[in-house]
Amino acid sequence: MGHESNESTMTLRRKILLIITAAAVVLILGLSGTLVTLLLRGFGRLEEQAVQRSVQQATDAFRVQLRGLEEIAASWAADDELCEQITRGDLAFFQAKYRDESFAKLGLSLAVFVHPSSRVIYQKGFDVARGKERPVPAGFARWLSPASPLLLHRDAESVRSGIVEVPEGLLMVVSRPIVAQNRLGAIHGTLIVGRSVDRRVAARIARLTQLPVALQPVRRQELPPEFVMARDDLLPPERVTAQVLDEHWVAGYAELNDVRGKPVALLQVRMPREVHLYGRRIVLYLAGALVAMGLVSVALTIWLLERYVLGRVERLAVSVDQIASTGNLQSRVPVAGADELAALANAINGMLAALDGSQSALRESQRMLATLMSNLPGMAYRCRPDEHWTMEFVSEGCRGLTGYAPADLVGNCKVAFADLIEPEDLELVRREVNEGVTAGRSFRITYRIRAADGQRKWVFEQGCAVRDATGAVVALEGFISDITDQKKSEASLRESEEMFRSLSASSPVGVFVADILGAWIYVNPRLRALTGRGLMDCLGEGWVASVLPAERESLVQEWREFVRQGGAFDREFRIRGANDRVRWVHLRCSPMLSDRGQAVGFVGTVEDVTERNEMTAALQQSQQRLQDLFENSPDAIFVEDYNGTVLDVNPAACALHGMKREELVGRNVLDLVPPERREEVRREYARFITGESEYAEGISVGRNGRHVPVELKVRRVSYEGQPALLLHVRDVTARKQLEQQFLQAQKFEAIGRLAGGVAHDFNNILTAIIGYTELMLRRLGPDSPLRRQAEEVLKAAQRAADLTRQLLAYSRKQQLQPRVLDLNTVLAEMDKMLRRVIGEHIELVLVTAPDLGAVEADPSQIQQVVLNFAVNARDAMPDNGRLTIETRNAVVDAVMAEQHEVLPGEYVTLAVSDTGAGMSEEVRAHLFEPFFTTKGVGQGTGLGLATCAGIVHQSGGFITVDSQVGRGSTFRIYLPRVAARAPVEDFGGPPAELPAGHETVLVVEDEPAVRELAVTALREQGYVVHEAGNGDEAWRRLQQDGGLRIDLLLTDVVMPLMNGKELADRLHREQPGVKVLFMSGYTDEAIIHHGVLAAGVAFLNKPFTGQVLLRKVREVLDQTPSPA
């Protein structure tokens, strides 16, 4: 054993010594080569620096020439007499003042005097070499256009100088504004002076630098080869490059730019290579010395390594082998000394301790994973990709989902999961799974299963394939959840919507629904028939046009006051209805309240009470009119004595009971009510006689024995000299039905609140997804394999954000942010999206007016309207067709304005036309009603066009529809034209750098993910950020440590304990100058008014990206505080 150990040790030592010797040889050679390379490179840099200094001297000398020319231009341009003559255009003045002697003395080649209108007043060229006048170079004319930088001067001190290239050669030019001698007052024109860049200029530079200098145009066709190579090397402007010409000479080059900053000439400076030749001699001496020192160092290193390292390494290896053989992780290797080998021994001991701890942590992690999987509300699984999807693992959630234990499903021990799937759904599941696996994406499937107890359940499954290193599918993993309750809720919602449409369409009184601003968004057919106006004419405030002018102003004031204050609205007034007939109507309205007691809309009825009012007026005027009203009243009228005997009835009473007048007269009132109600009628009758009661509701027996709910109004009268009772009996069947409709409408309002609440919470989630994905994209390189997946996540989140905006629009919790728009620009931005939406089988044609006026509207809402029309057009053309979107200016005359209840004047129209199936008159009559749709179940909600109509009317416009069956449809939007111009947005430039700052920001957000995103984005840009989870916590932080001073409060609007508006109000009392930026998935009346942001309120709509947040924060911080 001792012999083997010694032999092994000696073999190791030999190997180490051999390696050290070989390494030493390589190191000496490498160091020698490196030293030679570094020294030569260093002397090369010194040579390059010398070249750069020389080139810089030559460039400075050239700039001295240019500054001299600038001083000449400044002297000539500041001239009171020139200011006067430039306007008159007196050529004799210029010829006399600017003579050849001046050009020859100053070395000028040209001078041009330009009027402010860009018209050349006088120009002169001069040949300095020959000393006589010559024409101005013909190529110089293109530098005298109105857009030329030589003619653009902002003030009297402005100067434009540089080189310009003309076919005749290069010119140094200087442009100065022509101003008064004191340089005050207006600019009277432009003076341009120039000097040819020729050999004389190069010679002057060479004299100043004491070096050979040459100048060549960059665009010259036949450049010397060395200039061509230098031009290719000089990519960035103003960069200097050096070029070795031969063993003894080196040249430096620099680009000279023209007045637009573009390269126009190359400047060459030649130098002898003295530094290079001296460096080569130094390198040879140092290389020899390095080789000698290296050999001595190798010998000493071998001796020290043998004495102080190899023996200790051997002892350390023996200790490690013993621990490895025993497997005892609690053993430790001995530590001797305090050098690196001792540190290695300590590291080995630390590794042994970490391995021991990792095994304990692994066991705890396995326990936690098992607990988590058992508590998930669904079934997590892993199965083989075979025909029966044989389960390899299922979580405890399978008991609640399927009624089977995990052991029953694993390995198909008792039942295969495929056997639980409903047979009619099994093929769908197989197809979706196979398509997802083949496409390399996750699969999402909704289908039905049969549980162990026989119960049928709807489930949603999401999963993906697991592949090995070769890409082969080895398993499927996913999660299955129970969605049975969700399916039942969807079915109930569809039934409720259908019931509301049926009830409102058949109501005998007018029914309307108004939004939170009081604008009508729905009217039923009865109300349209009553007013004699179309659906679009009634929406918004269009119904007001039916009111007689004498009552219109007061009615509108009362209506708007009711919308602001709430309560109940109850008013009778006259309208001009169908056939131009004036009618009395009774409008009753009340608010629809949210679960917080806030009004979110209004619902009301409009009843035609013309006949009733006419009857009342006639009763006051004459007894004859009383009889006429009695006979023609729509209500049943009975005259009865105190015994209940019927003395007289009107025709309505006969119609109510299906009897003739002679059959009713003489009967007792008890014969006209159901037997079970007669005792109650006797008691009520006694109250009528004594006058204790004048009103009651009851049940009458109508024709064919039908029970009719009635309303009774009773008056004590004298009839033929005897005391009697006059009973007005009204059939309230319709009213009862309307009350049921109102209850149904409240259900729909509750659905709207639910949609708004879901969208609000979902916006918080989307903000975190979009924000963190954006941060990820900023940190991922363009070639990162994860970048495409991150971009897909961002696209999906943005599509989800579009869905939430639709939910908010339906629930009326989305605020409008109108601004001046160019509809042509809006359509251009939507072009690609529209083509994807309608598909390749439909041709999209955009016809835009070049002189289109601007409108004021919310751009996102207008895009929603256009997209909704485009989707409907696509559905009307299932095979193929053409979708045409056209914009133009239009004038709405007084007649058309009155029809649509808008102001006459200039409008902008946007027409969406298709070549689809068209619509019948019946469909057009219900087109803008909520929940009305001609699509199949699950293909449309019926809310799209109603929402579009509301958006357009809220923007001050209206919609017209032209359609014929088989000939397509055209929806034309009219929006008021505004005088302001739409701002031009530049989408072609590079993305702007994210704004940074150093201000102190307090972020208040109750959603942790959104709060962390905002804090991270702001801190990365240099802001000092404090955070709080709600308004209460934020206020406490502001009061701690003597009061936290901040520059900006970034807060959510809706939060528990204290909302964002209350926190901002408190903070303004303590710190009046602090800026506030609100953020929310939707806003409430705390910071908006009738759906539009209140003046002075900075608001950020969720979901938002980190870039949008940073720019909005910077915008708010940079705003100038408005005066108090």
Q: Please tell me the chain's helix, strand, coil percentages from 3-state DSSP, rounded to the nearest 5.
A: 50, 25, 25
Per-residue pLDDT at 5? 43
Q: What is the arithmetic mean of pLDDT over 393-409?
A: 89
Q: pLDDT tens digit string along 579-627? A: 888 889 999 999 888 777 788 888 889 998 888 888 877 767 766 677 7
573 C-beta neighbours (distance < 10 Å), count: 18
Give the whole-angstrom CA distance, residue 487 versus residue 457.
10
Name the CATH code of domain 16-308 (choices 3.30.450.20, 3.90.180.10, 3.90.700.10, 3.40.190.10).
Answer: 3.30.450.20
Superfamily grouping for domain 754-791+992-1124? Response regulator (3.40.50.2300)
Q: pLDDT tens digit string along 35-67? A: 777 777 777 788 777 888 888 888 888 888 888
Per-residue pLDDT at 68? 87
Residues of the chain with CATH 3.30.565.10: 819-978
pLDDT band at 374, cuts 50/70/90? low
User: What one-character-per-residue DSSP string does 436-482 give?
Assistant: HHHHTS-EEEEEEEE-TTS-EEEEEEEEEEEE-TTS-EEEEEEEEEE
Residue 344 in tokens:
């290695």
Q: Decide if pLDDT at 321 tops 90.
A: no
Give the global pTM.
0.32
At 843, the amino acid letter reads E
Q: For the chain, give the percent of residues with pLDDT over 70.
A: 87
Residue 328 in tokens:
């005892």
Give the whole-angstrom CA distance, residue 890 versus residue 1118.
40
36 C-beta neighbours (distance < 10 Å), count: 16
Per-residue pLDDT at 424? 92
Give the whole-angstrom CA distance, residue 345 versus residue 333.
6
At 20, the amino acid letter reads I
Q: Decide if pLDDT at 77 tops 60.
A: yes
Q: Decide if pLDDT at 1085 tops 50.
A: no
Give the whole-angstrom CA distance, residue 772 versus residue 768.
6
- Which residue has tokens 């905006």? 805
At 1018, the amino acid letter reads L
CATH of domain 819-978: 3.30.565.10
- Range of weakest confidence among 67-71, 126-130, 728-732: 728-732
The CATH class that applies to domain 489-608 reads alpha beta
Phi (first) and psi of residue 105, to 5 degrees: -65, -40
Q: pLDDT tens digit string along 1018-1073? A: 998 999 999 999 989 989 888 886 678 899 999 998 888 888 889 999 998 988 88
Contact call for residues 591 and 518 (beta carbons, < 8 A): no
Residues of the chain with CATH 3.30.450.20: 16-308, 376-482, 489-608, 613-731
Q: Which helix (H) or strand (E) holds 311?
A: helix 310-326
Please report the beta strands in 964-1066, taking only residues with DSSP state E, as ranges in sequence order: 969-978, 1000-1004, 1024-1028, 1048-1052
| 613-731 fold | Beta-Lactamase (3.30.450)
User: 223: Cβ–Cβ under 8 A, 6 or more apart, which residues?
Assistant: 216, 231, 266
Residue 789 in tokens:
């997946």
Highest mean pLDDT among 462-466, 715-719, 988-992: 462-466
User: 789: Cβ–Cβ under 8 A, 6 or more apart, which residues?
Assistant: none
Residue 288 in tokens:
């020899």
Highest mean pLDDT among 740-744, 815-819, 1063-1067: 1063-1067
Exposed, middle or buried: residue 882 (CB in 10 Å: 0-12, 13-18, 19+)? middle
Give the whole-angstrom CA distance, residue 121 versus residue 114.
5
Distances in Å between the Cα of 1037 and the Cα atoms of 99, 1009, 1012, 1067 are 79, 20, 17, 12
CATH of domain 376-482: 3.30.450.20
Q: What is the arithmetic mean of pLDDT over 675-693?
A: 82
